[in-house]
A and B are shown apart, each in its own frame.
Chain A
Amino acid sequence: EVVMTQSPATLSVSPGERATLSCRASQSVSTNLAWYQQKPGQAPRLLIYGASTRATGIPARFSGSGSGTEFTLTISSLQSEDFAVYYCHQYNNWPPLTFGGGTKVEIK
């Protein structure tokens, strides 16, 4: 099973600042890595797939990078609606598909 480790668990950021979230895989997942955003009481929403491709309708301030075992999600200038929990997800080696434990982005 590929273990996905996200850091930090919580990130405190001021509106307008940059946020950098990390995701590490226990073995290579190539670029088969997605990022999701989840707000309280809502379903996850796809942000990034293929490690760096933005999903339809996702603002350009969200960007993804990385390959192999190290990945980054960057939010260039945090807006109020971006405060949420973010999950990475590998779909390269399965079963099982695996998710990271999440990073909560909160208002500083």
Chain B
Amino acid sequence: EVQLVESGGGLVQPGGSLRLSCAASGFILSNHWMHWVRQTPGKGLVWVSRINHDGSSTTYADSVKGRFTISRDNAKNTLYLQMDSLRAEDTAVYYCARVNSGYNDYWGQGTLVTVSS
């Protein structure tokens, strides 16, 4: 059974940092690109970042470029999102999602990040 489990969310002050993790099981992580997608409470879905199979290629939404870093450790079956210089508008539930031919076929349950003083 494919499972994605995010962790690392929490309350952080503006300007602070957090590192999210996404533990993958039930499939071979190195066979798939991965995405991070966020959802502001009560609002829609916004794509944040993607990473290719081996981590050699990454892409970011303009709103997080230069502040967030996506990475992966296929040996540990784990995806990461390092978030620096956090702003209030980064407050959201962050989901990791497996990519299958471009669309997201499996999603984690999400982890809540709250940026507030």
Say yes or no for A96: interface residue by CB 8 A criterion: yes
Say yes or no for A32: interface residue by CB 8 A criterion: yes
- Taking a contact as CB atoms under 8 Å apart, the answer to whether A43 and B44 are in contact is no
Say yes or no for A24: interface residue by CB 8 A criterion: no
A101 to chain B: closest CB distance in Å?
5
Contact partner of A89 (CB less than 8 A), chosen from B45, B50, B62, B101, is B45
- Chain B interface secondary structure, helix, strand, loop or mixed? strand
- Taking a contact as CB atoms under 8 Å apart, the answer to whether B47 and A99 are in contact is yes
Say yes or no for A45: interface residue by CB 8 A criterion: yes
List residues of chain B with CB within 8 A of the CB of A45.
107
Bound complex: CA of A32 vs CA of B95, how far in Å?
Answer: 21
B60 to chain A: closest CB distance in Å?
8
List residues of chain A with CB within 8 A of the CB of B61.
95-96
Per-position 1/0 for A34-54, Cβ under 8 A of B:
101000001111100100000
B contacts with A, residue count (CB < 8 A): 22
- Chain A interface secondary structure, helix, strand, loop or mixed? loop
List residues of chain A with CB within 8 A of the CB of B103.
32, 34, 46, 49, 89, 91
Say yes or no for A87: interface residue by CB 8 A criterion: yes
A99-B45 CB under 8 A given contacts A43-B95, A43-B110? yes
- Taking a contact as CB atoms under 8 Å apart, the answer to whether A49 and B101 are in contact is yes
B residues touching A (Cβ–Cβ < 8 Å)? 35, 44-47, 50, 59-62, 95, 100-110
Please give me the 6 A-B residue pairs with the lowest Cβ-Cβ distance, nearest first. A91-B102, A43-B107, A97-B47, A34-B103, A99-B45, A49-B103
